[in-house]
Structure 1
Amino acid sequence: MKKKNTAEIKPVTVNELKKEMLSLPHAELVEICLRLAKFRKENKELLSYLLFDASYPETYLDQVKAYIDAEFDGMGTTQAYLAKKTVRKILRVTNKHIRFTQSKTVEVELLLYFCKRLRRAGDLLRQSVQLGNLYAQQLRKIDKLIDAQHEDLQYDYRRQLEQLVKV
């Protein structure tokens, strides 16, 4: 029996990457960023966010909410399986945009908005155990995130959360 080669090429630490990037000339750094953008779609989306949208978080938040609206509006509720797939896709994309922003406030805003839209699906939410569990999981996540917010924001977010809990 042949032994498998288990040796892996391990990536360097973020700190080592930072040191190396600081030593590179500007033009070479730009080339590396462009190469990363060509390599994966998510890298390109993150780079687009950082260059064009990071300075305008409210506008970006509105764009993500518009995406959520469009996806929920286009979702058919006649077939539960397809509706569940669509809801999971919307949540996956929403979480990706949350990761881009790295803002707990934006995370609370987007998850609250996602849950409001999911709650409007009413019958679908009551009929599907999986979607009910997903909804409850997101509410618990929002509850934990609210604790990390400023006191003024906590009050506003708690009121919105209480409305979502009343099903």
Structure 2
Amino acid sequence: MIELFEALRDFLETGGWVLTAIAWLIFFMWLLILERVFYFFTGHKALVKSLVEAWNAREDKASWNAEQIRQAMVSRASLQLKFSIPIIQAMVALCPLLGLLGTVTGMIQVFDVMSISGGGNARSMAAGVSQATIPTMAGMVGALSGVFASTWLTRKVKTERMHIEDILEMQRPV
């Protein structure tokens, strides 16, 4: 276990401070993704049940006012479904940008070494090159994993919203 933490620490040091920022960003992004997944499989069912109970408790289900109330109920449920998805999408977009920042800071380090020691010392430039490539790779991996999860969550929100509309529509008299 200690070797794992040492390897992780060495990896983060190789990528510089930008890799640490990317790691924290990916951690919080996946925390939000897992919260949404957990909500879909637990809390959302209770919300749908309470909406159906509230709709069934109404006497008037056919008037214009009832239709507006039904649409408001669906909209409130939709807001709860979409709660942190825009934040997740922003974090997905931020991952490759931070990777690019890591590339720039690594290349600055390479140019700094080249200005001091000349272009012939490949060993001294290796640290800057790895600091330039590792954050780029980490940013792309984080963005790709986040894109798949974000797409699934967005699709799940659409289907759940349609499901709520269908359930409340079936409860309405013709």
Please confirm whether the aligned pair reaches a TM-score higher than 0.5, indicating the same fold: no
TM-score range, shorter chain: 0.3 to 0.5
Higher relative contact order (CA 8 A, sep 6+): 2
Structure number, greater radius of gyration: 2
TM-score normalised by length of structure 1: 0.36
Q: TM-score scaled to structure 2, two decimals?
A: 0.34
